[in-house]
Structure 1
């Protein structure tokens, strides 16, 4: 009986992409934090600077986890971060070049669109929706695996 319960709600993951912040972003943030540590050290004492250094290191680890994003496709839904939508509401999928992605992020952006973008990734996918109850026209998703994501979605649509 327990085995049946474990497998009833389980969906097979078909594609999973984890997007983490690159090292250069984390290094830049940490250098900014270290300037704060130096300012605390100059204004107070060594103990305050050590405490601040430990605090900003922990904060950087938290920021690294918070900046992480995940795209998951199973047999019924696509999950982009905390957002998800059933595959039956997807109309078309388009791989975007860096130039197309730049335009859709800026000048050609629709304010009602869902943006699952990361500024450090220049390629992505535009997924047009066909749900008449949802005012969201499309999902704009940053992805390093744009071709694989598009091919997987076309197979499931």
Structure 2
């Protein structure tokens, strides 16, 4: 593995989500305080598990790029571009987005990376995905591609 990143929410998403506990407690307080506490904690635990397990993982291996559940062989990757500011990332995910592009974007990450797809049989022109470290992800892809046997 050359590069690995889990694109999970920041700690603030988890902290603000903790508001579930008192909200459920208030609703169930007239009925049963203990049930309110147990349900509030259980719902918050489910919230945390859902957020963490639903966070995509970016992996650059010796022969493939994997983002979430999607995978592409490195030989079909072209140029990569790091969008290391919020403005660049928003522009790529908004007005400049090609509707045919494959995307894996998360609202809690303000930066992204774009990698061109050079397979003539693939209708997808590029992948656009959220990453907290776009420069490192693009550098890792370039490094992995340089190690391929067919690379100059």
Q: TM-score range by the shorter chain?
A: 0.7 to 0.9
Secondary structure of the residue aligned to 2:18 is helix
Residue ranges of structure 1 left out of the alignment (5+ in a row): 1-12
Deviations 1:57-82 (A, max 9, x none): 32123223224221111111001111
Deviations 1:93-139 (A, max 9, x none): 01113212101112222222111222121112110101122221111
Deviations 1:21-70 (A, max 9, x none): 1111112222145313311224x222321331232132123223224221
Secondary structure of the residue aligned to 1:141 is strand
Which structure features the higher share of helix residues?
A: 1
**CA–CA separation in structure 1 for the residues paired with 2:24 and 2:38:** 12
1:34-53 correspondence to structure 2 within 5 Å: 34-42=22-30, 44-53=31-40
- Report runs of 4+ in structure 1 exceeding 3 Å deviation: none
1:5-16 correspondence to structure 2 within 5 Å: 13-16=1-4
Residue ranges of structure 2 left out of the alignment (5+ in a row): 146-152
Q: Which residue of 1 aligns with 2:131?
A: 143
Alignment root-mean-square deviation, CA: 1.7
